[in-house]
Amino acid sequence: MGVKRPELFIDGIVEAWKKNKNIKAKMVIASGPLENKIKELITEKEKKYGQLIDLYLNLKKEQVGEMYRNADAFVFTSTH
């Protein structure tokens, strides 16, 4: 299993906010060991930048598909 680093996504959103405060961020995660860490990171960044990251937990496949269809851009982070 690879290393999971959700902070890469969150840091990417922060960088985008620095350039355009109108960016709306949504993050989909499954419940698990990283869930609390992700929530803490999001809360910290939201407070700092006054912007929101909509967090979705355990979406069904149909819900994820709908979110993808309505998105303008996707951010896929990598540790490579």
Res. 73: pLDDT tops 80: no
Q: pLDDT-based confidence at 76, cuts 50/70/90?
A: low
Instruction: Summarize pLDDT for 5-60 with one digit per residue, the tens.
Output: 777 778 888 888 888 888 888 888 777 777 888 888 889 988 888 888 888 888 88
- Give the per-residue pLDDT at 13: 83
pLDDT of residue 78: 57
CA triplet 7, 10, 16: central angle to 5 degrees?
140
User: What's the confidence (pLDDT) of residue 28?
Assistant: 80
What dihedral do alpha carbons 26, 30, 32, 35 form, nearest 10°? Answer: 10
Give the predicted TM-score (pTM) of the model. 0.63
